[in-house]
Amino acid sequence: MSKIISEREKHERRRRRAYIAPDSPSSPLSSSAGSSTTLREQGRWANLPPELLVDIIQRVEARETCWPRRRDVVACAAVCRSWRKITKEIVKTPEQRGVLTFPISLKQPGPRDTPIECFIKREKATSTYRLYMGLSPGNFNKLLLVAKKVRRATCCDFLISLVGNDFSRSSINYVGKLRSNFMGNKFNIFDGQPAKDSPGQSGCRSRRIIRLRQVSPRKPMSITAKISYELNVLRTRGPRRMKCSMYSIPVSAIEQGGSAPTPMAFTKCHDEDCSPLLDSERKRAFETLRSVPLVLRNKAPRWHEQLQCWCLNFKGRVTVASVKNFQMVATVEPSQNVTAPEQEKVILQFGKIGRDIFTMDYRYPLSALQAFAISLSSFDTKPVCE
């Protein structure tokens, strides 16, 4: 009996040894060895003299001024922590450089002199809208933002993300949303970025948020703008009339010597954990800051007698007539220190150039995210405003 048991034990031992897998990249031993090798390699790059490192990154940043070659600048920031710190110090904001580099650039004001030219591609089958940076769809285009339209019982949401396959509010790719009312003539732009959790913890975090909502007080929601379209039920007022109140941008930003808020990192506020501010509270907040929000309006088109239609000068960027086409300019009071050329400057223009293809050009003080959200409001159906 003991002999039989010993033979069985030997057989089991041989069987276990036969199923032992060799070291692979996913095994703990190899991963630890790989991590130590990576640390050694990063240590070599991190030990470069700071003067030499600054000179290298400055040369790369000055040479690569457009995408796709601009990705070399992003690669420098991904080498190690010291490279990332120096790269973020060297790379200028879109207002200063006129170039989009990091994801946070999408929430920073555009350049003052020349607008950043983009275009939007609409996919009706999936209710998806993609924002690309580029002159036309034929050249290389850098994907900036993606929005997905979600219809609800009393409103309509445009969820905005950095990628096209992840619109979850608990994701690190979620950057905000646009919400319309039931009639489709009023919109709110919500700006929010959740805490950066790992992908494996997103589900646990969402469940934890649900439990916390039952006991924790609600915080104010980050509403950056409100868009409204004038009602035109009898269709006697001509083209659409829209107004946009930018609560996150003071009107002093377009005055001489003024500056617009420039975020340097994504906020960690979750939009569903917040409640909207009342209009009176928002006005009191701006009165406390001794400033008023910037108000934009669409530029009134002129009637062309020969063509028998309303026309605007888009300088060749719009080629197809559409009710969605518009140009946004600032609305200021005579008492405010804003020059006449600044009042006539087109801050945002949007128009159709083909089937499901639209151009979007924006400049200071708007950011790419704000301009994209305003443009999305033009896609929603407005039977009482046309």
At residue 30, the pLDDT reads: 37
Question: What is the predicted pLDDT for the residue at 135?
Answer: 66
Q: Which two tokens stand for residue 53?
A: 């490192």
Nearest to 45 by CA among 87, 15, 9, 10: 87
Work out the pLDDT band at 204, boundaries 50, 70, 90: very low
Both tokens of residue 269?
A: 């506020």
CA distance 293 to 191: 16
Question: pTM of the prediction?
Answer: 0.77
Q: Is the pLDDT of residue 278 over 60?
A: no
Confirm if 132 and 146 have CB atoms less than 8 A apart. no
The Cα diameter of the chain in Å comes to 109
Q: Residue 233 belongs to what H/E stretch?
A: none
Tokens at residue 323, please?
A: 């009710």
Least confident of 11-25, 65-79, 170-184, 186-200: 11-25
Mean pLDDT value across the chain:
77
- If one compares 345 and 5, the residue with the highest pLDDT of the two is 345
- CA angle at residue 159 from 228 to 136, to 5 degrees? 85
Cβ atoms of 133 and 142 within 8 Å: the answer is: yes
Q: Which pLDDT band holds residue 223 (cuts at 50, 70, 90)? A: confident
CA distance 301 to 306: 15
The secondary structure element, H or E, covering residue 216 is none
Which pLDDT score is estimated for 277? 44
pLDDT of residue 100: 92
